[in-house]
Amino acid sequence: MRAALDNLPERRFTPEDQQAFAALSGDTNPMHMDAKAARRMQAGRPVVHGIHAVLWALDAAGDLLDGVGALTVRFDRMIHVGDLCRLRPDAGRAQLTILVDDVAVTRIDLSPRTDPSSQPAEPDAHSFPLEARADAMAAAFPKASAALGPGFLVDLAGLSKLVGMVCPGLHSIFRGFSATRGADAVGSAMRYAVLRDDERFNLVTMRVTGAALSGTVEAFRRAPPTEQPGVDALRGLVEPHAFAGRRTLVVGGSRGLGALTAKLLALGGAEVTLTYAVGDGEANAVAQEIRAAGGTCAVLKLDVRQPIAGQIPAGAAFDQLYYFATPFIFGKRGRGLDPALLGEMMAFYVHAFYELCAGLRAAGPQPIAVFYPSSVAVAERPAGLTEYAMAKAAGEVLCADLPRLLKGVRAHIRRLPRLQTDQTASVQPVETGSAIDEMLAAIWSVQAGADRAAT
């Protein structure tokens, strides 16, 4: 299998490719264009336009497009910007498969051309303008344009705009489509009608018709970025001076559980410093909200992927650390153990965590109480999270040994259930625990440990 994959057409989509296709298609959805926005979506990082990947595959397919009149496409997994994509043609089955890490991410079935007059009637409920031009599509995808017609490619690009910008729109994931070639014409608009909106699976099915294309489209309606409760909603959960005198560092406090923890600590009177690696605007917004409510909050840029030394200001003294740094958790594709992914998980949950604890300990003589959020995945072993569970388990061992490795540092572990965060948001509704209850329990366990250390 390895040898068979060595000579396949391949491509890495770049941020510049994203910009070019967005301008071509009109699909400027932030999940494709904005790394800061994408980190708060289910994808975790920028995703290649699915239609762009399909057009690349069609253009690279060559003679397999002779006589093709219909496509059935299934997007099995997202392609992230920078992934190495390989195209595996199967002439015997008239199928194209896009692979990433030898795993099929997109499947394209090719069918012979049929009589356009046999196609279903056009929907007339809604319409939207197409951005793509025939000459631009022909220049970008010359072989596909010659075989299928530039108008068909213009309509295919319109499907990207439909799903990403029109219906379901910004909060969507393209599942797939079936498209039949019609007349060799170039249109300026596309019509669509919603055939079914299945709330059980958040799946929207649409009928589409363009000048050169007719067919059906399926897309999931995904959840918008998760917003944790504001300070006003949290008032009364802790006494105003419950954590007075505590100097707390909340790593990853710009969003999610880290932001929630920072707000709870500040409401209890703690001096909070929250960190961010990318989202400076989000971090400052959380800090401003805390300050407006009368709390104390500073903001510090800290990237655990870089050496910790030099990132902590000289003279900074903290007696509590809450560690919410995390990579993208749900990025695994293959079934086997992924050493590179395991290394990334270990870097976040073991190596950087220990380096940070050591750096804080070296900054002053005060004991340090640490909160380490582990996961029920350590025991439950959900599919696709082997490397994540292994790294969290290793982190638990490190936490147990911290008092021996770093005198004066004691960690408090809590295996968190699935909670509503940006990373855990899913297309289909999933029952989650209470983030507020879990974080309050974590905070109180740290306070109790700190009190014991001080006596």
Reported pTM: 0.79
Percentages helix, strand, coil for the chain, rounded to the nearest 5? 35, 25, 40
Same domain (yes/no): 235, 201: no
Structural domains of the chain, count: 2
Tokens representing 406?
């770093």
Same structural domain, 161 and 184: yes
Q: Looking at the chain, how many residues does it have? A: 455
Residues 262 and 199 in one domain: no
In a domain, 264, yes or no: yes
- pLDDT for 287-319, tens place per residue? 999 999 999 999 999 999 999 988 988 878 899
Shared domain for 246 and 204, answered yes or no, is: no
* Boundary residue ending a domain (183, 203, 221): 221
Give the pLDDT confidence score for residue 123 in this predicted structure: 52
Instruction: Calculate the dihedral angle through the C-alpha atoms of 332, 414, 427, 174, rounding to the nearest 10 degrees.
Output: -30
CATH code where residue 433 lies:
3.40.50.720
Strands (DSSP E) contained in 320-391 are 320-323, 368-375
- Give CA–CA dist 231/9, Å, rounded: 53
Q: Are 157 and 212 in contact (CB under 8 A)?
A: no
- The dihedrals phi and psi of 372, each to the nearest 5 degrees, come to -115, 110
Please list, in sequence order, all residues whose beta carbon lies within 8 angstroms of the beta carbon of residue 227, skipping any fewer than 6 positions away: none
Residue for token digits 């640490």? 370
Q: What is the mean pLDDT of each run of 10 residues along the chain (455 residues)?
A: 58 96 95 81 84 97 89 95 94 89 94 63 76 94 96 97 95 95 92 92 94 96 80 92 95 93 97 91 94 95 92 88 89 80 95 95 89 94 91 97 95 88 51 83 88 58
85 is a domain residue: yes
Cα separation of 64 and 89, whole Å? 8
| Cα-based distances in Å from 220 to 106, 166, 171, 196 | 16, 13, 9, 12
**Cβ proximity of 173 and 42 under 8 Å:** yes
Euclidean distance between CA atoms 108 and 411, whole angstroms: 50
In a domain, residue 360? The reply is yes
162 plus 241 within the same structural domain: no
Residue with tokens 């590179």: 340
CATH assignment of the domain containing 137: 3.10.129.10
Quick check: is 226 in a domain? Answer: no
The whole-angstrom separation of Cα 16 and Cα 418 is 36
Are 211 and 264 contained in the same domain?
A: no
Regarding whether 294 and 148 lie in a shared domain, the answer is no
Q: How many CA atoms lie within 13 A of 107 on its CB side?
A: 10
User: Does residue 405 lie in a domain region?
Assistant: yes
- Reading the block at residue 57, the tokens are 């595959």
- Check the CA dihedral 289-293-299-305 and report its sign: negative
Cβ burial of 104 (10 Å; 0-12, 13-18, 19+) is middle
Domain span at residue 277 reads 231-454
Q: Answer yes or no: are the C-beta atoms of 376 and 415 closer than 8 Å.
A: yes
Total Cβ atoms within 10 A of residue 317 = 12
Domain boundary among 221, 244, 273: 221
191 with 300, same domain? no
Displacement of CA 356 from its chain's centroid (Å): 26
Give every strand in the sheet of 213-221, ordered side by side.
10-12, 84-90, 95-100, 103-112, 68-75, 172-181, 213-221, 203-209, 189-198, 126-129
> Rounded to whole angstroms, how far apart are CA atoms 232 and 293?
8
- Residues 211, 288, single domain; the answer is no
Single out the residue in 221, 240, 270 at which a domain terminates. Answer: 221
